[in-house]
Structure 1
């Protein structure tokens, strides 16, 4: 532990009664598990949102309109 604040926190925890130490450890573990679960769900939630957008008729209509707008540019004979 290189952080003096962590060392102080550790020393403070050691002074607590055993039941309070266990309670604190359980809370920290629960928090870490919730964070891990949220981190794992985030990409899935993003993918779900993308799927919903792709299936949305208004989004599809807007994409068709954008394709029509750029059709002239795509057929101008210039290559990238």
Structure 2
């Protein structure tokens, strides 16, 4: 064994040193993960809401017909 081996141990960096490249990378990765999750939620909402859109259009059409009939009734 080399008696001077402990001299070859690399010094640890101080805890206050910040690697800005890692912070930027992690921030972008976090933003991408959030964007993917939001995209999935929006897609699921749009797929499940299409049936509701058709129903609301049908109800709107029926209400328009009722309004027209009531207006005709008032005129007579």
**Length-normalised TM-score, structure 2:** 0.50
1: distance between equivalents of 2:49 and 2:25? Answer: 36
Following TM superposition, where does structure 1 have runs of at least 4 consecutive aligned residues deviating by more than 3 angstroms?
none
- Rg larger for: 2
* Unaligned runs of at least 5 residues, structure 2: 1-19, 66-76
Kindly indicate whether residue 34 of structure 2 is the aligned counterpart of residue 42 of structure 1. Answer: no
**Structure (1/2) with the larger helix percentage:** 1
- The RMSD of aligned alpha carbons is 1.6
* Unaligned runs of at least 5 residues, structure 1: 1-15, 62-80
**Length-normalised TM-score, structure 1:** 0.48
Question: How many pairs are equivalent?
Answer: 44
- Larger RCO (CA within 8 A; separation ≥ 6): 1
